[in-house]
Amino acid sequence: MFRCVHFWGWRSLESSSGQGHTKTDKEMTVFQTSMCSILTQKKPAVLYGFFLETMSYVKNDLLRIRIAACKLAGIIVKQLSVHYLKKLDWPALRNSLQELQLDSDPGVRKAALETLKVLDSCSQHWQLALGLP
């Protein structure tokens, strides 16, 4: 599991130019989404573990790692089942991403905002699935 997460991050950072979305960035997003989809079906607990590990990188000193962690967290949380969404510490996740809204780098702020939107959407979906207000 550890090697796979580092592979995802390395490929993302290797292709990162810091200037918007390149073709390679989009290919990486497609790859990560596909991998998460497969893990959702075959090994949902592993995907949940990836998410928790990914969130630990949002406080990394390197801005490209913070950006990559935010983006990957958003991709993963979209794929998590309701069972695993219920296990998440929503206030802590929101706080981590809201702290990144104060980051000096606009790329980090943008990635954090996009991931916050995904979290909000997923939170609403699982609450509706459980019949909660």
The Cα angle at residue 67 between residues 50 and 71, in degrees rounded to 5: 50
Model confidence band, residue 1 (pLDDT cutoffs 50, 70, 90) = very low
pLDDT in tens, 48-67: 999 999 999 999 999 999 99
**Other Cβ atoms within 10 Å of 51 Cβ, number:** 22
**Tens digit of each residue's pLDDT (9 = 90 or more) over 5-30:** 554 555 554 554 444 556 677 888 88
Number of domain units in the chain? 1
Nearest to 78 by CA among 20, 120, 107: 120
Query: What is the structure's pLDDT at 27?
Result: 82
Parent domain of 27: 2-14+22-82+90-129
Instruction: Show the CA angle centred on residue 118, arms to residues 49 and 109, nearest 5°.
Output: 95
Task: Determine the Cα–Cα distance for residues 99 and 50; give it in Å rounded to an integer.
Answer: 21
